[in-house]
Structure 1
Amino acid sequence: MNKSHLPRVLFWRLLQALPVAAMSTLAIFGLIQLVPGDPAATIAGEYATAETIEAIRQTLGLDRPLWQQYGGWLWNAFHGDLSTSLLTGLPVMDEIARRLPSTLLIAGLALVISVLIGVPIGILAATRADGWVDRVVTGIASLGVAVPNFWLGMILVSIFALGFGWFPTTGARPISEDFWGALHHAALPALTLATGGIAEIARQLRSSLIEVLQSQYVRTLRAKGLPPALILWKHGLRNAALTLLTVIGLVFNHTLGATVATEAVFAIPGAGSMIVNAAINKDFPIVQGAVFVLVLMVIAMNLIIDLLYTMLDPRVKKA
């Protein structure tokens, strides 16, 4: 793809992403309204009178019609204001900024592990298709997809944290203060999240690569005498790149969502545990704001993958 077209493609992709972001806010706000319980009653306490609860509702604007509440929240959200916590009174953006780095570190490290292990395993299985290596890799990959993250996390804690003492059992370190300490704390949670990603990348890359290597195009290259290694690395992987990009994007999105359960197992003060605690305590601005930020990150990842499509494959439409 001509690099001069990249700004135009980026503009159109961003324009297409705006309605998706807007619809996500409606879905988030609507689902929050379905959660049982009254935030004002939670704040007021168990023995509060009806007058006290109503006064809190008026103060928080919860007595207004839903469309006004949604409109006000949407307008403020697209101006960078995600309201304030009902319980602490602190800005939601500050709470997210404090918790999100731990979640991103775990999700990012899990994605790196998934790619570094999943890609070689997928290549190994594809180059030995229908052999015992392929069957072993396929079986392990199926097991990796099926195993629940929270169960695997507890097993890893029991073995590597409590048993061998190689890793801390719970908690996190700020990466800005202690880089290696943060990685040490994030290693087990990231490995827990990476198992499914490794399996999915290996399975999908294997299938795509086998299809490419069995194509008429590759048979012609073999007939011309090209070395197998050159065919694999220059032609096979290049043609399987779009499938690999798609899977990497999906793995990141799934990993970001799966951090909720993983952070609970490892007692990590990240965005996932913040959402859970806020939902339990009816702190709906925190839930809305944090989920909205995570949705924007998913949209951003999809946008990056889409742009890489247009750069790697000229057959993909540019606008």
Structure 2
Amino acid sequence: MLQTIATRLGRSIAVVLLVTMAVVALLSLAPGSASEVILGENATPEAIAEMDAELGLDQPVWSQYLDWLKNAVTGDLGTSPLTNQPVTEAIAERLPVTLELAALGLIIALVVAIVMGVLSAVRPGSALDRGINALSAVFLSVPAFIAGPILIYFFAIQLQIFPVLGWSDLSEGLGPNLQSALLPAIAIALTEIASFHRLLRTDLIGTLGEDYIAAARAKGMSGTYVMFRHAFRPSSFSLITLAGMNLGRLIGGTVIVETLFGLPGLGQLIAASITTRDLIMVQGIVVFIAVVYVAINTIVDLSYGLIDPRIRKVTAAA
């Protein structure tokens, strides 16, 4: 067990290092620097060179990365040269928005997909199943950058149920907060609904064809009891894995939605930081997202044993 944990920890560290190195390498290829953004378009080459030296940007890329990495392992992700704000502080300010948006989108996707998956699996090939599959295909073909403007037009501009832009914090009340979060959450949930539904439907249909399900039905158990007591749990492993992976991806992938709806989250911050060549801010956010992604997937792996006791036995034996 300890060896397994050590192996996962080593892989996680390697993933985080590779991700940050890739980000630094890619941003180093882009023209310009943070000094040019700070000094403006009319800055002289001498002034830019002087500020580069002051900020340490005149050093080789690998040297800058190693200096940053030495501080990062102690929890210091650096300070933005543009805003003079510590990266950890900026992440703490923006994280609640992104986390709520990703979690709400995932919850919406899971609830809707489970309902659709169960209804489809009960009578595969029926008119209801075909209709749900068609709806799932529509959801899958509408990415967030298309769904967002459509939702804004109908529900915010035409019906005026939700605000067009902006964010209301929880301190302002649950109602205003949900009003500002629901539309963007639905926008990111649509494609997740489609992928969750298709995966769960396939697994449920396979499980419902097992002999022990037929035996349970022969004992006179109701269809609902058989579905949720005997079929749903063993069919949910792939769904849990995908949901866990997608939560980590959603935390780092809300750039488009946060930009469309004007939400002050991590996605909008990293997009602005890339534009202004704020490498320190980008590196810090990427490290945070990578750690969260790895941690979520580890928790998902460990949760299998809580769902199926047979996995706990196999793990213990190993």
**CA distance in 1 between partners of 2:126 and 2:214 (Å):** 20
DSSP-derived class of the 1:238 partner: coil
Residues 148 and 187, structure 2, Cα contact 8 Å, conserved in 1: yes
Quote the residue 1:51 is aligned against. 46
**CA distance in 2 between partners of 1:183 and 1:286 (Å):** 29
Quote the residue 1:127 is aligned against. 122
**CA distance in 2 between partners of 1:122 and 1:36 (Å):** 49
Quote the residue 1:118 is aligned against. 113
**Which of these residues, 292, 310, 313, is aligned with residue 297 of structure 1?**
292
**Which of these residues, 206, 209, 216, is aligned with residue 221 of structure 1?**
216
Q: Which stretch of the first structure deviates more once superposed, 72-81 or 120-129?
A: 72-81
Cα deviation, residue 225, structure 1: 4.3
- 2:229 matched to 1:268? no
Q: What is the root-mean-square deviation in Å for CA atoms of aligned residues?
A: 2.1
**CA distance in 2 between partners of 1:117 and 1:284 (Å):** 39
- The change in CA–CA distance for 1:171 and 1:48 in structure 2 (over 3 A counts) is same
Unaligned runs of 5+ in 1: none
Quote the residue 1:136 is aligned against. 131
Residues 32 and 288, structure 1, Cα contact 8 Å, conserved in 2: no
**CA distance in 2 between partners of 1:175 and 1:15 (Å):** 38
Unaligned runs of 5+ in 2: none
| TM-score normalized by the length of structure 1 | 0.91
1:116 partner letter: V
Residues 110 and 196, structure 2, Cα contact 8 Å, conserved in 1: yes
Residues 24 and 279, structure 2, Cα contact 8 Å, conserved in 1: no
Cα deviation, residue 12, structure 1: 5.6
Cα deviation, residue 60, structure 1: 0.9
- 2:193 matched to 1:198? yes
Quote the residue 1:32 is aligned against. 27
Q: Structure 1, residues 65-87: CA drift from partner, whole Å, max 9, x if none?
A: 22221111112122221111121
Number of equivalenced pairs: 314
Cα deviation, residue 219, structure 1: 2.9
**CA distance in 2 between partners of 1:34 and 1:176 (Å):** 42
Residues 173 and 182, structure 1, Cα contact 8 Å, conserved in 2: yes
Residues 20 and 287, structure 2, Cα contact 8 Å, conserved in 1: yes
Cα deviation, residue 230, structure 1: 2.5
Q: Structure 1, residues 37-91: CA drift from partner, whole Å, max 9, x if none?
A: 2222222222222221111111111112222211111121222211111211111
1:38 partner letter: S
1:161 partner letter: A
Residues 304 and 311, structure 2, Cα contact 8 Å, conserved in 1: no
Quote the residue 1:106 is aligned against. 101
**CA distance in 2 between partners of 1:252 and 1:303 (Å):** 13
Q: Structure 1, residues 233-261: CA drift from partner, whole Å, max 9, x if none?
A: 11111111211201212332343344110
Cα deviation, residue 15, structure 1: 4.6
- The change in CA–CA distance for 1:175 and 1:77 in structure 2 (over 3 A counts) is farther
Residues 28 and 292, structure 1, Cα contact 8 Å, conserved in 2: no
**CA distance in 1 between partners of 2:211 and 2:26 (Å):** 51
Quote the residue 1:90 is aligned against. 85
2:223 partner letter: P
Residues 10 and 307, structure 1, Cα contact 8 Å, conserved in 2: no
**CA distance in 2 between partners of 1:34 and 1:212 (Å):** 51
Q: Which stretch of the first structure deviates more once superposed, 225-234 or 103-112?
A: 225-234
Quote the residue 2:232 is aligned against. 237
| TM-score normalized by the length of structure 2 | 0.91
Listed as ranges, the matches of 1:241-260 within 5 Å are 241-260=236-255
**CA distance in 2 between partners of 1:171 and 1:10 (Å):** 42
2:266 partner letter: A
Over the matched positions of the two proteins, sequence identity in percent amounts to 36
**CA distance in 2 between partners of 1:309 and 1:13 (Å):** 16
